[in-house]
Amino acid sequence: MQITYNLKSASERRSEAFEPKENVGFGELRTDHMFLMDFSDGQWHNPRVVPYAPFEVAPGAIALHYGQSVFEGAKAFRHNDEEIYTFRLDKNAERLNRSADILCMEGVPEVMQLAGIEALIDVDRLWFPLQEDACLYIRPFIFATEDRLSVSPSEQYTFCVILSPSGPYYNDGFSKAIRLLISKRFHRAVSGGTGASKASGNYAASLKAGKVAAEYGAAQVLYLDASNQQIEEVGAMNHFHILKDGTVIIPTFTDTILKSITSESILDLGELLGCEVRQETVWLDKFIQDIESGGIIEAGGFGTAAVVAPVGSYIFEDRRVLTVGDGAVGKHTKRIYQVLTDIQKGHISGPKNWLRKVTRLEG
Ligand SMILES: Cc1ncc(COP(=O)(O)O)c(C=O)c1O
For residue 74, which atom of ligand 1 is closest to its CA? Answer: 11
Distance between Cα 121 and ligand 1 center (Å): 22
**What pLDDT, in 10s, does the model give residues 54-86?**
999 999 999 999 999 999 999 999 999 999 999
Report the interhelical angle of 89-102 vs 261-273 (nearest 10°).
140
Distance between Cα 233 and ligand 1 center (Å): 9
Per-residue confidence band for 251, with pLDDT thresholds at 50, 70 and 90 = very high
Burial of 108 (0-12, 13-18, 19+ CB in 10 A): buried
Mean of pLDDT over the chain? 97
Confidence at residue 347, expressed as pLDDT on a 0 to 100 scale: 97
**What pLDDT, in 10s, does the model give residues 195-231?**
999 999 999 999 999 999 999 999 999 999 999 999 9
Q: What is the mean pLDDT of the segment spanning 14-19?
A: 97
For residue 198, which atom of ligand 1 is closest to its CA? Answer: 16
Distance between Cα 300 and ligand 1 center (Å): 13
Q: What is the mean pLDDT of the segment spanning 236-264?
A: 98
Residue type, 215: E
Ligand 1 atom 2: residue of nearest CA:
236
**What pLDDT, in 10s, does the model give residues 304-323?**
999 999 999 999 999 999 99
Distance between Cα 314 and ligand 1 center (Å): 20
Query: Is residue 250 pLDDT above 70, yes or no?
Result: yes
Ligand 1 atom 3: residue of nearest CA:
237
Query: Is residue 363 pLDDT above 80, yes or no?
Result: no
Ligand 1 atom 6: residue of nearest CA:
303
| Ordered domains of the chain (ranges, CATH) | 4-168 (3.30.470.10), 178-344 (3.20.10.10)
**What pLDDT, in 10s, does the model give residues 171-195?**
888 888 999 999 999 999 999 999 9
Distance between Cα 32 and ligand 1 center (Å): 27
Ligand 1 atom 15: residue of nearest CA:
236
Q: What is the mean pLDDT of the segment spanning 151-164?
A: 98
Query: Is residue 48 pLDDT above 90, yes or no?
Result: yes
Ligand 1, pocket-test mutation among 94, 237, 252, most atoms within 8 A of CB: 237
Distance between Cα 2 and ligand 1 center (Å): 32
Distance between Cα 238 and ligand 1 center (Å): 6
Q: What is the dihedral of CA 273, 275, 276, 278, to 10 degrees?
A: -50
Confidence at residue 362, expressed as pLDDT on a 0 to 100 scale: 57
For residue 95, which atom of ligand 1 is closest to its CA? Answer: 10
Pocket lining for ligand 1, CB < 6 angstroms: 73, 233, 236-238, 258, 260-262, 302-304
Ligand 1 atom 5: residue of nearest CA:
237
Cα distance between residue 282 and residue 270, in whole Å:
19
Cα distance between residue 258 and residue 136, in whole Å:
22
Q: What is the mean pLDDT of the segment spanning 258-283?
A: 95
Q: Please write down the HEC assignment for all residues of the chain.
A: CCCEECCCCCCCCCCCCECCCCCCCCCCCCCCEEEEEEEECCEEEEEEEEECCCCCCCCCEHHHHHCCEEECCEEEEECCCCCEEEECHHHHHHHHHHHHHHCCCCCCCHHHHHHHHHHHHHHCHHHCECCCCCEEEEEEEEEECCECCCCCCCCCEEEEEEEEEECCCCCCCCCCCEEEEECCCCCCCCCCCCCCCCEHHHHHCCHHHHHHHHHCCCCEEEEECCCCCEEEEECCEEEEEEECCCCEEEECCCCCCCCCHHHHHHHHHHHHHCCCEEEECCEHHHHHHHHHHCCEEEEEEEECCCEEEEEEEEEECCCCEEECCCCCCCHHHHHHHHHHHHHHCCCCCCCCCCEEECCCCCC
Q: What is the mean pLDDT of the segment spanning 96-117?
A: 98
Cα distance between residue 77 and residue 88, in whole Å:
11
Cα distance between residue 63 and residue 97, in whole Å:
16
Distance between Cα 132 and ligand 1 center (Å): 23
For residue 304, which atom of ligand 1 is closest to its CA? Answer: 11
Confidence at residue 3, expressed as pLDDT on a 0 to 100 scale: 97
For residue 235, which atom of ligand 1 is closest to its CA? Answer: 1
Ligand 1 atom 16: residue of nearest CA:
236
Distance between Cα 234 and ligand 1 center (Å): 9
Across 6-10, 100-104, 152-156, 268-272, least confident range:
268-272
For residue 238, which atom of ligand 1 is closest to its CA? Answer: 4
Cα distance between residue 232 and residue 310, in whole Å:
16
Cα distance between residue 257 and residue 37, in whole Å:
29
**pTM of the complete model:** 0.97
For residue 258, which atom of ligand 1 is closest to its CA? Answer: 3
